Amino acid sequence: MSRLAGKVAIVTGGAGGIGAATAAELAREGAAVAVVDIDEVKAEEVADRIRHSGARAIGLGGDLAEEDVARSVVHATVAEFGRIDVLHNNAALTASSFLARDTTVSEMPLDVWQRSMEANLGSQLLMCKHAVPEMRSTGGGSIVNMSSGAALSGDRTRLAYGVSKAGVHALTMYVATSEGKAGIRANTIVPGLILTDAVRAHLSPDILDGLGRATLTPYVGQPQDVAELVLFLASEQSRYITGQMISIDGGMSAHVSMNTGD
């Protein structure tokens, strides 16, 4: 239960869903955790729950698309805990009101495109930019970036989300390449459907049923499934894995059914 004893982790987008589950899991394994989110109140609530469990945590707020915010998150984490060993870039725009405007190539509002790039991809660049020097100064670290199955193939909607997530794959490989000899690894997690409370609330039973049938496992993924993959990639047990895209989707991306439509 102490795979991250003495380590310090930043989890972005940690106010709920997958990020909150991951922050709790890293803390359970011994890490001190900075929980960061544009929703500062919820980030602080998650940090508070972790502190009540006996681990160390701080909650930090701000829009990570802004360089000053990313820089100050890194500085605040180092000021509080002394170092950074793990960076989990999990923040992304998932609000259904925003995604409803993320449509197709001929209809794409430019503000939706630009905001998707800066919030989903730019935030990951900025956090890497400011965390990497800290990791270098202590001999290395592990960066775990968050993508989506939406980056692996086309869809009839959510073009900007898919393209911003595809950029995460390249960002990860470039960081892994330039920083590998400094002891810094970088990997991308590519989730399929993960049943957070928000996903449950917003997808219709029909769509959830269809996605469930397209999943090869008898169950659909939970936030804890992703948290455990982040933990593995953050820990020394994955020390020879870097620059990779790792799907966690119950096999959804591993098959196409021509017969059943699933």
Ligand X SMILES: NC(=O)c1ccc[n+]([C@@H]2O[C@H](COP(=O)([O-])OP(=O)(O)OC[C@H]3O[C@@H](n4cnc5c(N)ncnc54)[C@H](O)[C@@H]3O)[C@@H](O)[C@H]2O)c1
- Residue 92 in the binding site for ligand X (CB under 6 A): yes
Give which of 103, 55, 56 is closest to 77, Cα–Cα: 56
Write down the H helix ranges in 101-242.
110-116, 123-137, 159-179, 197-202, 205-214, 223-234
Stretch of 15-23, 71-79, 99-107, 240-248 contacting ligand X, by CB under 6 A: 15-23
C-alpha–C-alpha distance, residues 196 and 200, integer Å: 6
161 as an active site residue: the answer is: yes
Task: Decide if residue 90 touches ligand X (CB under 6 A).
Answer: yes
Q: Which listed range, 8-16, 26-34, 106-114, 178-186, lies at the site for ligand X (CB under 6 A)?
A: 8-16
Which residues, 6 or more positions from 68, have their beta carbon under 8 angstroms from its beta carbon? none
User: Is residue 18 a contact residue for ligand X (CB under 6 A)?
Assistant: yes
Cα gap 43→22, rounded to integer Å: 13
Which region among 24-32, 88-96, 103-111, 173-181 touches ligand X (by CB under 6 A)? 88-96
The CA distance from 186 to 173, in Å, is 7
Q: Please, which of residues 65-84 interact with ligand X by CB under 6 A?
A: 65
Give the residue, chosen from 77, 116, 123, 187, that forms a contact with ligand X under the rule CB under 6 A.
123
Q: Which of 112, 249, 115, 131 is nearest to 190 (CA)?
A: 249
247 makes contact with ligand X (CB under 6 A): no
Measured from the CB atom, the residue of 30 and 39 that comes closer to ligand X is 39
CA-to-CA dists, residue 58 to 25, 35, 51, 158, 261, angstroms: 15, 6, 8, 33, 46
Instruction: State which of residues 8, 10, 11, 15 lies at the interface with ligand X (CB under 6 A).
Output: 15
In the list 116, 124, 187, 196, the residue contacting ligand X (rule: CB under 6 A) is: 196
E runs forming strands in the chain: 8-12, 32-37, 57-61, 86-89, 141-146, 184-191, 245-248
Question: Minimum distance from CB of 196 to ligand X (Å)?
Answer: 4
> Which residue's CB is nearer to ligand X, number 59 or number 141?
59
Q: Which of 39, 40, 67, 262 binds ligand X (CB under 6 A)?
A: 39
Cα angle, residue 183 at apex, residues 23 and 165 outer, rounded to 5°: 55
- Looking at residues 135 to 194 of the shown chain, list those that interact with ligand X (rule: CB under 6 A): 146, 148, 191, 193-194
Which residues are at the interface with ligand X (CB under 6 A)? 13, 15-19, 37-39, 63-65, 90-94, 119, 123, 146, 148, 191, 193-194, 196, 198-199
The residues assigned a catalytic role are 161
